[in-house]
Structure 1
């Protein structure tokens, strides 16, 4: 299972430095949609990390798809908190509560 990160070049830089190989720079909304669609179809990706501001820019239908996605589990970081905590997303992804 791999981690994919989509966002602007500043957002993905830290993930690249941490060794994440699947990083995609989205310079505009069209590229953002293309990368998200590509990652959703990639069976090797288990976690997709997005900037929460990018998540808010997406059409509501795509946001809903991402929020309900189990594989890959989508984590929006930065800015406002999503409907689901990171703990809940990890629990849904892994199947167990790691904090217990």
Structure 2
């Protein structure tokens, strides 16, 4: 199982330096949507990392799918813009609220 990161080249650079191998640079909306769709279908991806502000670049249908996805678990970094909080994602994946 792998971690995948999609975003502009500046966003993915830190992840590449940290050793994440599956990174996709997507500068325009069409390539970003295509990359997210491909990574969602990739069965080797367990966690998909996206910048929170990039969620708005995706079609509403895909945003809803990302919000409900358990595998891969979609993590938006930089706030809860367009998505569900990390607490809710963990609760959905594990089945219990670990903060209680």
TM-score, normalised via structure 2 length: 0.86
Residue number in structure 1 paired with 2:80: 81
Residue number in structure 1 paired with 2:10: 10
In the alignment, structure 1 residue 41 sits paired with structure 2 residue 41: yes
* Whole-angstrom distance in 2 between the partners of 1:3 and 1:66: 15
Q: Unaligned regions of 5+ residues in structure 1, if any?
A: none
- Computed over aligned residues only, the root mean square deviation of the Cα atoms, in angstroms, reads 1.8
1:15-41 Cα offsets, whole Å, 9 max, x none, are 111110000000101110111111011
* Whole-angstrom distance in 1 between the partners of 2:59 and 2:14: 27
TM-score, normalised via structure 1 length: 0.86
* Whole-angstrom distance in 2 between the partners of 1:21 and 1:96: 31
Segments of 4+ moved more than 6 angstroms: none
Q: Are the structure 2 counterparts of residues 42 and 13 from structure 1 closer, same or farther at C-alpha, using a change threshold of 3 Å?
A: same
* Whole-angstrom distance in 1 between the partners of 2:17 and 2:92: 27
SS of 2:4 mapped into structure 1: strand
Residue number in structure 1 paired with 2:51: 51
Q: Quote the offset at 1:90 in angstroms.
A: 3.0
Count of residues in correspondence between the two structures: 99
SS of 1:23 mapped into structure 2: strand
* Whole-angstrom distance in 2 between the partners of 1:68 and 1:35: 18
